[in-house]
Chain A
Amino acid sequence: MKILVAVKQVAALDEDFAIRDDGRDVDSDFFIRDLNEWDDFSLEEAVKIRESSAEPVEVVVVSVGPDEADESLRKCLAKGADRAIRVWDTCIEYSDSIAIARVLAAVAKREAPNMLFAGVQSSDQSFASTGIAAAALLGWPHAAVVSNLTCTPGANLAVFRRELEGGLLHEVEIQCPAVLTIQLGINTPRYASLRSIKQAAAKPIEVLSLSDLALGAADVGEAGSSSRVRRMYVPDKARAQLIEGDAAQQAARLAQIIHAFKGAAS
């Protein structure tokens, strides 16, 4: 069995970040990069399947991103992925989730895995659509926001629960191969020690270009995307009315608010 896990190196913003001159993204100097939290869970789920399986399971991670993404891929290798693939080409820049899905689907066709896992969403762009878009391109069954997965290598059905709004779960059975987007909390991702990350540096990361995947510039970037970023800006957010003073004064005011509410309610 082979499980392909799509991962992303996401960016969080550092203090006092600035928007780029063209106004379409944040200056990358202010990026604090890390492996997407959701992908940590989907990788763990794949590795757990391998560990509990009698038959051999290969876990392959794939990421679409520039050189820096190798850092996250090495973390994945340290956490137990068997191989890593990174796809990059400068024209991939400005791709939205659907353009990225096109690249992932091409990798999936090349790798021919039995399952494709992705995180529900990325913590930076929160599209929540890449994995499912890739499923459409592959023509595979798919499901989003998966928790409690039972997936036995060799079986042609997998069972899981979709985590719905309002604390409700929906148990679903799906035909394999399938694309599943994995929700936080499905497992406890393991720790990758710095030592193991360092040792993972010895494992090669296969770097593919668009032409390796028989894709062209029109398939990715703005041309291949379903939306285009016009502008990015820092919103003037509504601000709470701040209660000033020391802790005792602040608490006294809060107590007043509570008493007023209780008075009104009774």
Chain B
Amino acid sequence: MVSRTDAVTRILFEAFSAAEVRLFYLLGYAAIAIFGYGVYVQIRKYRRGAALKLEGGLWARFGAMLSSVLSHRTIERRDRSAGGAHRLIFYGFVLLFAGTATITLEYDILEPLFGIRFWHGQFYLVFSLVLDIAGVALIAGLAFMMYRRGWMRLPKLDYARPDRVPGDPDFDRPQYRREDWAFLWILLIIACTGYVLEAARLVWLQDRADIWDTRWWSPVGALLAEGMRTAGLGERGAGLLRHGLWWFHGLIALLLIALIPFTKVKHIFTAAASLMVRDPLAAQRLPRIPDSQEQVGAARITDFNWKQLLNLDACTKCGRCHEACPARAVGAPLSPRDVILSLREFAKSTLESGVLPDAAELDIHGKAPGQVAMETLWSCRTCMACVEICPVAVEHVPIIVQMRRKLVEEGAMDPLLTKTLQTIHKTGNSFGESKRKRGAWSKALPFPVKDARKEPVDVLWFVGDYASFDPRNQKVSQVFASLLQEAGVNFGILYDGESNAGNDVRRVGEEGLYEVLATANVNALAGASFKSVVTTDPHSYNTIRNEYPDFGGKYEIEHYTTLAKRLFTEGRLQVTNPLKYRVTFHDPCHLGRFNKGYDAPRELLALLGCELVEMGRCKANSFCCGAGGGRIWVPDPVGAEKPAQNRMKEAAAIPGLEVYVVSCPKDLTMFEDALKTTGNEGKFVVKELIELIREAIPARRAEEVPA
């Protein structure tokens, strides 16, 4: 018994002629050579991109990648079934591949060189069982994916591009669909022929007790073998079948290996590598342009760095970004997926050739296949929904902004945007108001707001453009100032020392102006005495928190929601008039997705006594109001739905909704407008969270209520 079980091992080249074995090795080496060449071409492509030095240790990056891959955390998000199926395919494939690979390890390396064998006996049997189960998992996963592609008709798997029209050569790219199906079918055929092969082998060798008696360690193969025997297949027939199938299975597997670098199969490497080089602040902290660099922005494909070129290849067309994009949702000519795929096609056609084409052929701006149109780039709200949801760490926003930098350099933008940028340069604010009027809103208060440049304060309030100049938001600013005053916070503002924070200017792509603004603010802050910074504007919050450090400005900074919550926790603010409103909360992109500030506003709403009903798209999946990335300065096309209107409809579907709560000045502007234009006025109201706090804490003295 023992000896028999011990003898059992993987049947490899049994009954093959020496010539056949040599042929197989030849083909195997050829496949590996093709694979190797493909890898070389890919790496040469990446190396044709700009240089980039990564921060952080390699091992930490590797660990993070491994954890993402093994847990499938990123793949599972917002699509559990696809995530589950992918997990089955992934683990099935990994195990089967590991099985095959270790056989090669033993047969071709360890045994001939060192005489080490481990593929026999109990280990072999257990492994057979594991691989049989892995095969089932793989097939189940593949079957679901086929069902999903063939029958579920998911919009995110529709390759029709919003930035092209039917008839354009690259409109819906049927070659992608063919490739998807080919990939699924190849894997399925490899898995299925594996089982049939296993069964045929069992039938063929049914006389060998070590094999036949242990057949149930390969349950699927054994079951098929029983079937074959019942169907009347004899040993000889099975031997022939096994021989033929062996070659078929083997050749397809070798083909797959050879094709990896040239097809979507390469995502098993590129996606993992992309996850490894992920920048957790990709959208929050955009790259600086070195002073020495002549050229600004991405004009040619080679202006992207190797990591961005790798990002392009990592994309698996899963469509999550396509689904999450607010511009795409309202019919704008932008899908983050298609920006990436377009550039990938462009990189493939230009950077994979032996000789790098002329500079003129590397221009990525335009309407030809592979190029990206300016309308597409200007449609982006830099809301980070795409970056946040991408399972393979593609960083779309910096790619788009770097391309915009080039457009800004050429002046290829909406005339109103041009005007706004000129206005900001001239006056330091987007309203074209006098600098002297920045603090004017505070004059309506019954107490003076300290000038932090003149006297020390604990909390420096960076007010921002909208809260300073927009009449509606000025009222909110006055309320917030009163609340701080009542809570006994020693705070002040910079008055005319403050400039536009630059967050949106940077995301427009006007890097030079951003540098001017950031430097001005860092200098102004350096001239003030304070312990920490608070902002009411999430956009200012993001850039001061994440980007000013690159300009020498490192501060302790928080959004007002965390400060207000602390004031409640410390008892400095107390709810005296609990609100019974049924509310929903809109996560501002720059507070939520950008800086993970999901909890404080919700805790505040609970403290105020509000009943919070979440919208479907909330927290990380919050839907941009449409104002980001400088789009607040560019009118949306006439007649088309605006993101804010799309969002209002979502909110309006909440039964009994009373208040749509925002915590961003731009949101207040966008949504109050959308409330009217979607005909929801009178049904519910849009309010700043600050206003709700005021309502829950009626001012102690009437004169403290600003006019």
Contact = CB atoms under 8 A, between A and B. Distances in A.
B436 A197 contact: no
Size class of the contact patch on chain A: 10 to 19
Q: Which of A15, A16, A194, A196 has the most CB of B within 10 A?
A: A194
Contacts of B425: 194
Contact of B511 (A191, A195, A197): A195
Interface string A179-222: 00000000010110111111100000000000000000000000
B296 A195 contact: yes
Contact of A188 (B408, B415, B422, B512): B415
Given A197-B512, A198-B512, A191 B427 contact: no
B658 interface: no
B411 interface: yes
Contacts of B418: 191
Contact of A194 (B413, B434, B435, B512): B512
Nearest to B516: A194
A190 B419 CA distance: 11
Contacts of A15: 434, 436-437
Nearest to B512: A194
Contacts of B289: 195
Contacts of B434: 14-15, 32
Given A32-B426, A32-B427, A188-B415, A194 B437 contact: no
A196 B512 contact: yes
B437 A195 contact: no
A106 B413 CA distance: 39
A193 B513 contact: yes
B437 A193 contact: no
B421 A191 contact: yes
B409 interface: yes
Contact of A193 (B415, B427, B510): B510
A191 B413 contact: yes
A14 to B, nearest CB: 5
Contacts of A199: 294
Given A14-B434, A16-B436, A193 B413 contact: no
Contacts of B513: 193-194
B384 to A, nearest CB: 24
Given A14-B436, A15-B436, A194 B510 contact: yes
B426 A191 contact: no
A200 B418 CA distance: 19
Interface in B394-412: 408-409, 411
Contacts of B437: 15
A259 to B, nearest CB: 26
B411 A190 contact: yes
B681 to A, nearest CB: 13
Contacts of A16: 436
Interface in A25-55: 32, 34
Contacts of B516: 194
Contacts of A191: 408, 411, 413, 418, 421-422
Interface in B491-518: 510-513, 515-516
A90 to B, nearest CB: 27
B76 to A, nearest CB: 43
Nearest to B296: A195
Nearest to B515: A194
Nearest to B505: A194
Contacts of A32: 426-427, 434
Given A34-B426, A198-B512, A193 B436 contact: no
A135 to B, nearest CB: 30
Contacts of A14: 434-436
B426 A195 contact: no
Interface string B414-434: 010010011001110000001
Interface of B: 289, 294, 296, 408-409, 411, 413, 415, 418, 421-422, 425-427, 434-437, 510-513, 515-516
Interface of A: 14-16, 32, 34, 188, 190-191, 193-199
23 contacts: A14-B434, A14-B435, A15-B436, A16-B436, A188-B415, A190-B411, A191-B413, A191-B418, A191-B421, A193-B409, A193-B411, A193-B513, A194-B511, A194-B512, A194-B515, A194-B516, A195-B289, A195-B296, A195-B409, A195-B511, A195-B512, A196-B409, A196-B512
Closest 7 CB pairs of A and B: A194-B512, A195-B512, A191-B411, A15-B434, A190-B411, A194-B513, A191-B418
